[in-house]
Structure 1
Amino acid sequence: MIKKIIIALLSTILFSFLMAYLNHVPVSEREPNVYYSPLWSTAMIFAMYSLPVYLIGGISSSYLIDKLVGQKTFDSKWKRYLTEFIIYGIFGVVVAFIFLMVLTISEGEAYLITNSLLNFMTLGLLASLIFYHVSLIFGKKRNSTNELR
């Protein structure tokens, strides 16, 4: 459990700084007399929203995916990797959809098909794949019957 929490925290940091960097306006493109947040400040805002999603949706999804994939035997590392990659991506999109619905319903509105939906699903996909790859770096635990060749 502690390992998954550390993975979620590291994933939050990576995701938040990546999103802050992608939203950063270079100095050469800034308008005069306009305030631009520093990179770390923007990253903190992204972290405030993404940390709870990683801790709740990411960790619980990861346990479920590990249980589902752990029941299957794979011929090669690549088949396992590709299977987990796709499943993590799907779960990321689903968790992002749920998060968007919670946000919009709390505002008294529900948007089913908007640009926000596509943006959130793309962010969910990216966030879940970051979580997956950080967990690979930490060496996911494998069943002895499902060892990779």
Structure 2
Amino acid sequence: MKVIETMISALICTIIISLGLSLVIYIPIQQVEGFTFLSLFFSYVIYSLPIFLLGGIGASLVVEKIFKHLQLKKDIAYYPLALILYAFVGILFNYYFYFSVINKEWGNSIFYMFVGILGSCLFFHILLLTRKSLHRISTYHNGVLE
């Protein structure tokens, strides 16, 4: 069930981030000859889906192992610590992809680090909502409604 939760969360986050970046970067065709909105959107989907699948699943595994190793349960301390860990993993993944794939200099790296933090925190919140929704659906189908 955890793999399904992370994959659903990765797909939802990919769509949200791709739409957001496409809206921010899109310039109407009348003003400049450039990419259409759909071409920008699909470019971001192609770029960000592997990052969310690999990074999201990786971050989930790392955070769960850290919590299991520290013997922390999902209580009040879980949320802030998990949010910080997901943000840190988002920075690491975007840092790696930015410098290894896109560019060898600092240029727009701060923007991409911000996108990494935003993406990883969005992924964490979507993952929490997905877990709660799937748990509710499974309990509803078992005849027990919480």
TM range (shorter): 0.7 to 0.9
Query: Secondary structure at the residue paired with 2:22?
Result: helix
Query: Residues 89-104 of structure 1: matches in 2 within 5 Å?
Result: 89-104=87-102
Quick one: structure 1 residues 139 and 35, their matched pair in 2 at CA, closer, same or farther if it must change by over 3 Å?
same
Give the letter aligned to residue 83 of structure 1.
Answer: L
Deviation, structure 1 residue 128: 0.6
Deviation, structure 1 residue 76: 4.7
Deviation, structure 1 residue 21: 1.2
Query: Secondary structure at the residue paired with 2:131?
Result: coil
Deviation, structure 1 residue 74: 5.9
Tell me the equivalent position of 2:47.
Answer: 49
1:62 aligns with 2:60: yes
TM-score scaled by length of structure 1:
0.74
Alpha-carbon distance between aligned partners in 1 of 2:57 and 2:75, rounded to the nearest angstrom = 26
8 Å Cα contact 1:17/1:40 also seen in 2 = no
Quick one: structure 1 residues 63 and 95, their matched pair in 2 at CA, closer, same or farther if it must change by over 3 Å?
same
TM-score scaled by length of structure 2:
0.76
8 Å Cα contact 1:8/1:131 also seen in 2 = yes
Deviation, structure 1 residue 47: 0.9
Give the letter aligned to residue 118 of structure 2.
Answer: L
Give the letter aligned to residue 122 of structure 2.
Answer: I
Deviation, structure 1 residue 97: 0.8
Deviation, structure 1 residue 69: 2.5
8 Å Cα contact 1:65/1:88 also seen in 2 = yes
Alpha-carbon distance between aligned partners in 2 of 1:76 and 1:62, rounded to the nearest angstrom = 17
Alpha-carbon distance between aligned partners in 1 of 2:60 and 2:21, rounded to the nearest angstrom = 22
Aligned length: 130
Tell me the equivalent position of 1:73.
Answer: 72
RMSD: 2.5
Tell me the equivalent position of 2:24.
Answer: 22
Alpha-carbon distance between aligned partners in 2 of 1:75 and 1:3, rounded to the nearest angstrom = 17
The runs of 4+ residues in structure 1 deviating greater than 6 Å are none
Q: Percent identity?
A: 25
Unaligned segments of structure 2, at least 5 residues: 135-146
Query: Secondary structure at the residue paired with 1:115?
Result: coil
Deviations 1:10-32 (A, max 9, x none): 111111001111113368xx52x
Deviations 1:80-100 (A, max 9, x none): 211111111011001111111
